[in-house]
Amino acid sequence: MKRLIILALLPLLGACRPQELQPLDGSISVDVSASLETLVGQEDTDGDRQITIKDAGPRSMTLTSADGARSVSIEGTYPLSNLLQELALATDGDSEVTTINLARLFEHPVARISRMIKDYYWDGLTRRIDAEGLSRIAVDTKSDAVRPRIYVPATDPTAYSYFSGIASETPDLDLDVVRLPREITPEYVRSINDRPGILVLGLQAEGGTLSGIPFVVPGGRFNEMYGWDSYFEALGLLQDGRVDLAKSMVDNFVYEITHYGRILNANRSYYLTRSQPPFLTAMATSVFDAMEPGTARDTWFRTAILTAIHEYEAVWTGSDRLTRTGLSRYYGAGIGKPPETERGHYDAHLAPYAEAAGVELESFTEGYLNREIISEELDAYFVHDRTVRESGHDTSYRLEGRAASLNTVDLNSLLYRYELDIANAIETVFEGELEGHTPSAWRARAHSRRELVDSLLWDADAGWYFDYDYETNRRTGFQSATALYPLWAGMASAEQAARLVANALPALETVGGIASTSSESTGQTGPDRPQRQWDYPYGWAPHQMLIWKGLADYGFSEDSQRLTTKWLTMIARNARDFNGTIPEKYDVVLATHDVFVEYGNVGTQFDYITREGFGWMNASFQVGLASLEPDWLERLKADTDF
């Protein structure tokens, strides 16, 4: 590291050749296009429009000022990749010349990642559904749709009038505005699978003009507002002082529940019958705590909590999801294969059916998709498959083929947290009563759920929480990171927490943090049993963030700090070595983003600079970094230096 810095700062120290290299004042003005062309031509030897440790260039460049009077030598992959990023940012302007701050090229990776997330990535991920934002949000690489289409709930005439006006006033947009029926059925959703489109979110009046309430998308192919992603993104936004944007995301969830009946898997037409893991009470409470005190804040929070109560009663304890055990399940209603999945995703599962039918796999798949081939067994499988997607853990062998039959640890932990959050809100903010709801009634619900979880999901012999299959009346025994959710929810006793930590961390902890499942439970994978992205050896931001908080809350601070540091070290090293890459997921065993399981790795494909990172990965970095104690922070910096 010292060698690289000294080489770069020689001109600043006056140790330079008399004419070409003159002392600099910490910056240099360069020709953007010429510098970019030289840098890429010299250093990007594999042609991926990034500068990484895989490139075989000289790893050295003399950067000359636009007037030719001054030069500075930049040495090393990391400073050169930062130079590439700074030049890429400069292409956004109109000027052919830009001033490069040399300190930015040698900024510590941890500091640079955090700054880029705060200053650039949140804005890069922000969307609106309105006249200005439609062209950007309408893009959906998960479908083959060509014509932009927007679906409007029957209960929002203002939105229908607004978007119909846009379609009429801008015929070149070729916007198809569709009013949804009042009752959304699986049959209706299937009928529009070949006409996918965006589902509107909230509108707000700004200066007498309607505009879309903003929200953050995960990034890449996920160009819409997702259910549980949004909670973690909101935590990152709050950490970075973006309270209004986090509040807006809660407002959009209130809109979804009001007009679509649930928080959606995401606001696309093919997600209309699916929700995602419930975090609204925790999200609204976090935003409430960050807002300026006053009547407006309390009124806003009242609406959010009442809406969460409606969601709890109509969705999570409604007839589709409340099971005979008294605990809830995920349940993704729908008919046939989910249309948003990539071609070939189900080949391994469909192949035996095609063989039994005596037809080619492609023909069988097409026939089943068009309902020319009817299979009750496959229909049942796809109910489970859609349920996996509602769980957010798509996909995992923990859930495959049985998701709709499970009372999962994760869902029932989240609902326990809902019950306590609602009780606390009523007691502390609304003086003990909220439209007939009382703290005692909600605490009684939480107590009842905890007893059922202890009875059915807690395995005292193993010292683990396991999902419970209410069809077979037995625990699955599948070891998953979701076993630690009860710590985040505050549902475990001190004794349960101690036993769980003693058993779960050795089975799940890796070089880069917590793996989604244990190697033992995941089992062998191969052509007939493909690797699933929510299983070992992969790790995901939401698991890490919930586990860090849960461990800290139960007094396992050392474990929490260690796991946080492992995760951030992995992110920072990969970003340092691979042009700032902040992807969707990691192989936490090898501590690499070089992952191509199922859908690949969103966030790794970009030219010159990532403008977005990935939503909940950004959040995990900001939240994790803010939580580190000084000695762990120093360890992180030392382990990620360049």
Question: How many angstroms separate the CA atoms of 347 and 339, rounded?
Answer: 14
What is the Cα–Cα distance from 358 to 435, expressed in whole angstroms? 61
Q: Are strands 176-179 and 149-152 parallel, antiparallel or unpaired?
A: parallel
Report the alpha-carbon distance of residue 630 to residue 227 in Å, rounded: 34
C-beta atoms surrounding 344 within 10 Å: 11
Angle between the 280-290 and 243-260 helix axes, to the nearest 10 degrees?
A: 140
Residues in the chain: 642
Contacts of 201 (CB under 8 A, 6+ apart): 129, 212, 213, 215, 225, 252, 255, 256, 267
Which one of the listed residues 584, 587, 598, 612 is annotated catalytic? 584
Residue 514 parent element (H or E): strand 513-514
The catalytically annotated residue of 394, 419, 598, 612 is 394
Both tokens assigned to 426? 């009523």
Supply angle C-alpha 432, 437, 443, rounded to 5: 80
Q: Residue 547: CB partners within 8 Å, gap ≥ 6?
A: 481, 484, 487, 488, 514, 560, 563
Q: Please say if 639 is a catalytic residue.
A: no
Answer yes or no: 394 catalytic: yes
CA distance 623 to 545: 8
Beta carbons of 324 and 470 less than 8 angstroms apart: yes
Reduce the DSSP state of residue 224 to 3 states and report it.
coil
CA-closest candidate to residue 619, choices 218, 111, 292: 218
**What is the distance between the alpha carbons of residues 335 and 380, in angstroms, rounded to a whole number?**
9
Sequence-distant (6+) residues with CB within 8 A of 150 are 129, 134, 138, 163, 175, 176, 177, 178, 197, 198, 199, 200
Place of tokens 């309270």: 243
Q: Which residue type is seen at 598? A: E
Q: Which residues are catalytic?
A: 394, 584
